[in-house]
């Protein structure tokens, strides 16, 4: 669409409709936005042409990217450092189990059962081994789990899972070189500077109507994100680390967190979730529907095989084991990033890309719906200050 204001109105109209739909159906907003993106792509494409939705437009891609970065940052910022120190071993075991089981299992199924060659099979293993920090955080926030040690542990495990995915993608396909070393050095220095200077800087200059805090955080996220992209990594990777480093400063400033949530959920993340849904090529999906089901089933079954026994080992009640396993079966950001990396580097074909992205996006919807519908662990929500949100999701 040539008129950018009409295009922006279309996207925010879709976001508004998705929010109303989530209220009427009592679903997560993130999930309804993804579904609305899939349907909008079909309807707009059939009525006036796919270019009018503009999912690949520069400004839409940028806003969607900013949405995923700020959302991931908020997920890190709301980690309780003390609670994380107490449970880091458990989070690490859960995260690594949630990575290795689907990584090896899906790659084997793609190679032996679907007949994909070795490189596409490994790429499928990487893409479907992910857990979406963005989706999990959005769901936990809506329910109030983000305030509980249980929710913080799940977020930490998701981060470990995605970090392992990024490392696997780099080891298997991306070249490690001087830029990688410079990125690690720059990220380490940047995190140290943020840790030392953010608190005093905010106390000296913050609290003004100019919203200096938000500008400072966006500057840091964009700068280190740009360094990550320059080195061949992804801009969303430093966001969670920055959030974790600043959890003691930003996470405890509830007014600042609320303002960032307004910016993120009110404007940015609809572009991220709706665009994710719009990337699904339904005709390609329907043409190889059994392959799509095989990939989605492989991801969910291997996640179950990896995560569920670990939760039982840590003596989770059965309901919590299922809820944790299902939430860690979600995928979106790094799954689509890995798929797009494979397509742009000639590792997978367009058809394989469509099937992988469809499976990744379906994994953001199906396990989350099952988890919230049948396995919601209510005991962690007792005494929290968000009863209406809980009731809405239950």
**181-213 pLDDT per residue, tens:** 888 899 999 999 999 999 889 888 877 888 888
CB 345 within 8 A of CB 173: yes
Highest mean pLDDT among 291-305, 319-333, 348-362, 371-385: 291-305
Q: In which element (H, E) is residue 273 found?
A: helix 269-278
CB 263 within 8 A of CB 214: yes
CA atoms within 13 A on the CB side of 41: 19
Q: At CA 384, angle to CA 378 and CA 385, rounded to 5?
A: 130
CB 326 within 8 A of CB 158: no
Is residue 387 domain-resident?
Answer: no
Is residue 295 domain-resident?
Answer: yes
Is residue 284 domain-resident?
Answer: yes
Choose among 294, 317, 290, 359: nearest CA to 109. 294
pLDDT at 348 over 80: yes
Is residue 63 domain-resident?
Answer: yes
Q: Return the CATH number at 339.
A: 1.20.1530.20
Say which range, 58-67, 98-107, 184-193, has the weakest mean pLDDT: 58-67
Compute φ and ψ for 232, nearest 5 degrees: 100, 5
Question: For the chain, how many structural domains are there in total?
Answer: 1
Is residue 382 domain-resident?
Answer: no
CB 242 within 8 A of CB 216: no
Q: Which residue has the tokens 């380490």?
A: 188
Which pLDDT belongs to residue 247?
A: 80
Is residue 393 domain-resident?
Answer: no
Domain that holds residue 223: 4-374
Q: Rounded to whole angstroms, how far apart are CA atoms 103 and 172? A: 12
Say which range, 31-40, 41-50, 238-247, 271-280, has the weakest mean pLDDT: 41-50
Mean pLDDT of 99-119: 94
Which pLDDT belongs to residue 222?
A: 93
Tell me the per-residue pLDDT of 273-312, one tens digit each, with 9 for 90 and over. Answer: 888 778 777 777 777 889 989 999 999 999 999 999 999 9
Is residue 383 domain-resident?
Answer: no
First to last CA, the chain: 39
Averaged confidence pLDDT in the chain: 83
Which is more confidently placed, 282 or 2? 282
Is residue 380 domain-resident?
Answer: no
């Amino acid at each position: 669409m040539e008129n950018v204001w009409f295009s922006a109105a279309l996207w925010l109209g879709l976001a508004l409709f998705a929010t109303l739909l989530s209220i009427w159906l009592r679903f997560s907003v993130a999930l309804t936005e993804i579904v609305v993106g899939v349907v909008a792509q079909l309807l707009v494409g059939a009525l006036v042409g796919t270019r009018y939705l503009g999912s690949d437009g520069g400004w839409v891609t940028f806003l969607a990217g900013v949405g995923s970065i700020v959302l991931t940052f908020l997920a890190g910022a709301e980690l309780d450092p003390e609670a994380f120190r107490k449970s880091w071993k458990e989070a690490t075991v859960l995260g690594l189990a949630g990575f290795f089981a689907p990584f090896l299992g899906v790659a084997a199924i793609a190679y032996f059962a679907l007949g994909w060659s070795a490189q596409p099979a490994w790429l499928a293993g990487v893409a479907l081994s992910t857990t979406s920090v963005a989706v999990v955080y959005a769901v936990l926030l809506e329910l109030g789990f983000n305030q509980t040690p249980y929710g913080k542990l799940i977020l930490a495990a998701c981060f470990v899972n995605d970090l392992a995915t990024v490392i696997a993608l780099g080891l298997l396909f991306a070249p490690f070189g001087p830029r990688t070393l410079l990125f690690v050095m720059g990220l380490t220095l940047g995190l140290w500077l943020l840790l030392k200077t953010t608190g005093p800087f905010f106390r000296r200059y913050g609290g003004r109507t100019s919203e200096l805090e938000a500008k400072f955080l966006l500057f840091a996220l964009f700068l280190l994100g740009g360094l990550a992209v320059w080195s061949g990594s992804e801009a969303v990777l430093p966001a969670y680390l920055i959030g974790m480093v600043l959890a003691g400063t930003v996470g405890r400033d509830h007014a600042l967190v609320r303002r960032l949530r307004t910016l993120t959920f009110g404007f940015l993340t609809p572009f991220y979730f709706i665009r994710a849904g719009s990337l699904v090529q339904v005709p390609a999906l329907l043409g190889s529907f059994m392959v799509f089901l095989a990939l989605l089933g492989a991801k969910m079954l291997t996640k179950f095989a990896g995560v569920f026994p670990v939760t039982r080992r840590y003596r989770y009640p059965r309901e919590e084991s299922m809820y944790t396993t299902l939430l860690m079966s979600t995928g979106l950001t790094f799954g689509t990033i890995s798929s797009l990396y494979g397509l742009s580097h000639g590792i997978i074909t367009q058809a394989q890309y469509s099937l992988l992205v469809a499976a990744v996006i379906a994994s953001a919807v199906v396990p989350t719906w099952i988890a919230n519908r049948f396995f919601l662990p209510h005991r962690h929500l007792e005494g929290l200050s968000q009863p209406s949100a809980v009731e809405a999701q239950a």
